[in-house]
Amino acid sequence: MTANTGHVFVLGSLTSQLTTWIGNHGAYAVFAIMAIDALLPVGGELTMLFAGALAAGAIAGAQPVVFGHVMQTGVESYVVLSLAGTLGYLTGSLVGWAIGRRGGRPFLDRHGRWLHITPETLDRAERWFDRHGRAAVFLGRLTPLVRSFISVPAGALESPLGPYTVLTLAGSAIWCFGFAAAGWALGPRAPFLLTRTSTNIGRTRVSLWVTSLKWSANKFRSRPRASSSVDGPVNVAETS
């Protein structure tokens, strides 16, 4: 098996697991995955595409579930799953804002790598906010990949919570309802597109993870080491 084939196989398996969760747990899974996607890119696009196809009845043997109730496919299911994604993303975004606001920039400088936020990423986020002002939140929510790296920096850069919440809600609603509508329109072709899309998105995410790991390794190597007595003992006679 070549490296590329193995990569596609792994991504296909992850996509299959993602769609299985949504098929089995419906709105709960959509809510949870989108909440995580607000902090880390874990497949929000794929989630809402599949949710739309599920709502349209295009996924054989699967029906939307909410509060333990199996819903009929149709517009109602589309609205419920899209709202679940929107509210899940808003919840994750508020958690991210709170982390950034409480920890501030020093926290991100020390621990941001766990959220794939390097000092360079934070600098770019700061320039983004300086350039676009409050609209930076709304625009960021509509930009692929960038949307998963807005929440924590927004808190660290002290973006006002009120406007941040409203703009995040608006941006995530457009994103979730839009991708779900695309999944609905694709219908039976959605599973094929999910596999193809997951390959391209997954490669981008892998490159982000590799970059983050390299930054962490370089930072660790550049840390000053404690001095030791490798220079040998001091000659007391010569110093007296």
Section 118-125 average pLDDT: 77
Judge whether 24 lies within some domain: yes
Q: Are 8 and 199 in contact (CB under 8 A)?
A: yes
Lowest mean pLDDT among 35-49, 106-120, 139-153: 106-120
Judge whether 228 lies within some domain: no
For residues 91 and 133, the model is more confident at 91
Cα 49 to chain centroid distance, Å, stands at 16
Lowest mean pLDDT among 44-53, 119-128, 138-147: 119-128
In terms of residue numbers, what domain contains 187?
3-206
Record the pTM. 0.72
The amino acid at residue 100 is: G
Is residue 218 over pLDDT 70?
no
Judge whether 233 lies within some domain: no
Section 133-151 average pLDDT: 83
For residues 25 and 232, the model is more confident at 25
Per-position DSSP letters for 19-54, written without gaps between them:
HHHHHHHTHHHHHHHHHHHTTS-S-HHHHHHHHHHH
Is residue 147 over pLDDT 90?
no
Judge whether 229 lies within some domain: no
Domain count across the chain: 1
Judge whether 31 lies within some domain: yes
- pLDDT grade for 108, boundaries at 50, 70 and 90: confident
